[in-house]
Amino acid sequence: MTVRKGEVLGLLGDNGAGKSTLVKTLAGVHDPDEGEIIVKGKRRTPWTPLAARDAGIETVFQDRALAPQHSIVTNIFMGREITNAFGLTKVQTQIDEANRLMREIGFTSKVFNPESTVGHLSGGERQGVAIARALYNKADVIVLDEPTTALSLTETQKVFRFVEAVKASGRTVIFIGHNIYHVWEIADRFFVIDRGREAFEGLKAQFDGADHLIHMMHQLAETGRADTATLKSVA
């Protein structure tokens, strides 16, 4: 699987295809069973959550990995607080930085600020906290694991705006989704996996709309392979 700089890659697959496993491996939560992880020409062992973040891969987990009883700012800096030499957090610096990150993705409102408790936010807004957190540290690749699952239409729209903002900033986004229409709306290229292996891939322009992609995924589910000949060729 290759991911190009600055694109939104839609990662698709049926339940159990291995999407979440792939995400967890990228994020450093799972160590790979075999093979090795090479980032910018350097081998990375051990591959841990911190190593992944250090390598510029930020992951927004399905369950968002938030601490609901704490503020937005505490959640954004979870695990990498900005501290002075004594280990004391620089409160104002963190608030300013959180404000900047939230503005960058358009995650602002008059009803909450960086010091608001995450548990009082809506589902889409919590996703905003997780995405703002992923932007900190100049990440190159941002992995979004089913960010719109269990969200209402309005909330989903909010998350799309956040993702558009991330894309506009020139970062690479891997968008994992179950709802193909959601992925279709946001992605530039699609990569479909089946039982842990690549099934097919294609640029958005190679498909005749979302229904074409869905049709190919139906084929894959029923016959075990998709007819890639139907994909249009692009120059």
**Residues binding another protein (CB under 8 A):** 14, 27, 29, 48-50, 53, 59, 61, 63-70, 74, 78-81, 83, 86-89, 91, 109-111, 115-117, 119-120, 152-154, 156-158, 160-161, 179-182, 184-185, 214, 217-218, 220-222
Token output for 202: 């294609």
Select 66 or 142, whichever has its Cβ closest to another protein: 66
Select 33 or 222, whichever has its Cβ closest to another protein: 222
Q: How far is the CB of 88 from another protein (least distance, A)?
A: 5
Select 85 or 235, whichever has its Cβ closest to another protein: 85
Select 94 or 172, whichever has its Cβ closest to another protein: 94
Strand partners of residue 117:
71
Token output for 206: 């190679």
> In degrees, to the nearest 5, what angle opens at C-alpha 109 toward C-alphas 105 and 110?
155
**Contacts (Cβ under 8 Å, ≥6 apart) of 40:** 55
Q: How many CA atoms lie within 13 A of 117 on its CB side?
A: 5
> Measuring CA to CA, which residue among 87, 70, 114 is closest to residue 78?
70
Select 104 or 194, whichever has its Cβ closest to another protein: 194
Select 86 or 197, whichever has its Cβ closest to another protein: 86
CA distance 202 to 213: 9
CA distance 12 to 25: 16
CA distance 47 to 44: 6
Q: How far is the CB of 61 from another protein (least distance, A)?
A: 6
- Kindly state the helix (H) or strand (E) to which residue 216 belongs, with its residue range: helix 210-223
